[in-house]
Amino acid sequence: MKIALAGIGKIALDQHVPAIADSPDWELAATVSRHGTVDGVEAFTDLGTLLATRTDIRVVSLCLPPVPRFEYAMQALRAGRHVMLEKPPGATLAECHALEAAALAANLSLYATWHSRHADMVPAAKAWLADKRLRSLTVTWKEDVRRWHPGQAWIWEPGGLGVFDPGINALSIVTEILPADIHVTQAQLEVPENCQTPIAAQIAFHHPEGARVSAVFDWRQEGAQTWEIEAVTESGTLRLSDGGARLSIDGKASGEAAPLSGEYPRLYHRMASFVQQGGGEVDLRPMTLVADAFTLGRRKTVAPFHEVPDDTR
Ligand code: NAP
C-alpha cells in the first residue's frame, strides 16, 4: 500500500522512514514537509496538492508536532484518506474527538499511535499484572531535554506539552498495563520562567483499589537516563525499565533486554491491518491524564531554560 509521510523531522527520519522501508505492507510514495525530504521519494510542501494530485495514495501518516496536526489530519480525512497520528494524537482532547467522529462518519481508519506501548516487554508486564493486587506504582521518567529535543522550540510553546511530551509515553504504558483505570488527583508543574510548558512534573493518581500511584517527570537529568515503572503488588514487584525494553520480577530479569527498534514496525503493521480489515484505534486515556494534570497542576516557576547551558554561554 502506498503511504505519504507528513512532517519530515526527527521522528520521521529516525523511525518512520526505516519502519516503512522495512515493511512488506508499505511503500513510501510521497512526503509533505516545508523543508524536509526523503531521498528518492516525491516531495510536496503542501498537503492539499498531494491529496489532489496523488489520488493513488490512500493513507497519510502525520509526524508533525501536536499543534499543527489537527488541520493536516482533518484535511486528509475530508479527502477520503486513512490517517495515522504520531503521539500525542492532537493538541487538545476536543480535536481528537472531532477527528474520531470524522473518521467514523467517512468509514476511514484513524490510528492514534502510542509507540511506547509497543516496546518489547509491555505485553509481558500487562499479562503479569492482570491478576495481581497492586499496592503501589511509581513512574520515574527523567531525561536530558538537550540531548533528545535539540532545537525544538515547539515543546516550550502552548500545546507543546513540555516534559509531558516524553511523560505521556510513560502514561501510555501505565494505561496499557494496569487492569484498572486511574485518574489524576494532584500535580505540580515546574515551569521555567521563560517557557509556557513544564520542565518537570510530579503527579499523584487515584487508583480504584487504593494503590498509591505517582509519577515524576524531569527533563533536567544529565548522565544516566531513567525511564522506569515500578509496580509493587501483594505477589511481588515488577520493574519495567529502559522505556519498556527490560522487565524484571522481584529483581530477576524476564527474557532478554530488547532494543526499542520494534516499536515503529509494530505500529505500521497494525495500521496495515486497520486499513485492510477496517476499523482503527483512538485511545485518549494517556492524553486525558496529561490534560487533567494541566487542569489541576499547581504551577511553580523555576529557573529559565536555555538550550545552551548558562555556564557555557
Ligand atoms: P520535529 O522534528 O521538531 O518536527 C517534525 C516536523 O514537523 C518538522 O521537521 C517540520 O517539518 C514539521 N513542523 C514543525 N512545526 C510545524 C508547523 N507549525 N506546521 C507544519 N509543520 C510543522 O519534531 P519530532 O521530534 O519529529 O516530533 C514530532 C512528533 O513526534 C511529536 O508529536 C513528538 O511527540 C513525536 N515523537 C517524537 C519523538 C522523538 O524522539 N523526537 C519520539 C516519538 C514521538 P517542515 O518544517 O519541513 O514542515
At 42-77, the pLDDT tens digits run 999 999 999 999 999 999 999 999 999 999 999 999
CA 92–ligand 1 middle distance (angstroms):
17
Is the distance from the beta carbon of residue 64 to the nearest atom of ligand 1 less than 6 Å? yes
Alpha carbon distance 107, 285 (integer Å)? 23
Is the distance from the beta carbon of residue 152 to the nearest atom of ligand 1 less than 6 Å? yes
Which residue has the least CA distance to atom 9 on ligand 1? 9
With a CB cutoff of 8 Å and minimum separation 6, the contacts of 87 are 112, 113, 114, 115, 168, 169, 172, 286
> Residues 81-111: pLDDT tens digits?
999 999 999 999 999 999 999 999 999 999 9
* Ligand 1 atom closest to the CA of 66, numbered from 1: 32
> Residues 213-266: pLDDT tens digits?
999 999 999 999 999 999 999 999 999 999 999 999 999 998 665 666 799 999
Closest CA to 172 of 295, 284, 296: 284
**DSSP string over 53-71:** H-TT--EEEE-S-HHHHHH
- Full set of structural domains in the chain with CATH: 2-112 (3.40.50.720), 117-255+291-312 (3.30.360.10)
The helix (H) or strand (E) run that includes residue 78 is helix 66-78
> Residues 268-310: pLDDT tens digits?
999 999 999 999 999 999 999 999 999 999 999 999 999 987 7
Within 10 Å of residue 130's Cβ, how many Cβ atoms? 10
* Ligand 1 atom closest to the CA of 35, numbered from 1: 47
Question: What is the per-residue burial (b if ≥16 Cβ within 10 Å, else e) of 246-261?
Answer: bbbbeeeebeeeeebe
CA 33–ligand 1 middle distance (angstroms):
10
CA 213–ligand 1 middle distance (angstroms):
31
Task: Indicate which residue of 10, 87, 126, 252 is catalytic.
Answer: 87
With a CB cutoff of 8 Å and minimum separation 6, the contacts of 183 are 205, 206, 288, 289, 292
For this structure, is 126 an active site residue?
no
Is the distance from the beta carbon of residue 9 to the nearest atom of ligand 1 less than 6 Å? yes
CA angle 247, 252, 256 (to 5 degrees): 50
* Ligand 1 atom closest to the CA of 149, numbered from 1: 41
Is the distance from the beta carbon of residue 112 to the nearest atom of ligand 1 less than 6 Å? no
Is the distance from the beta carbon of residue 166 to the nearest atom of ligand 1 less than 6 Å? no
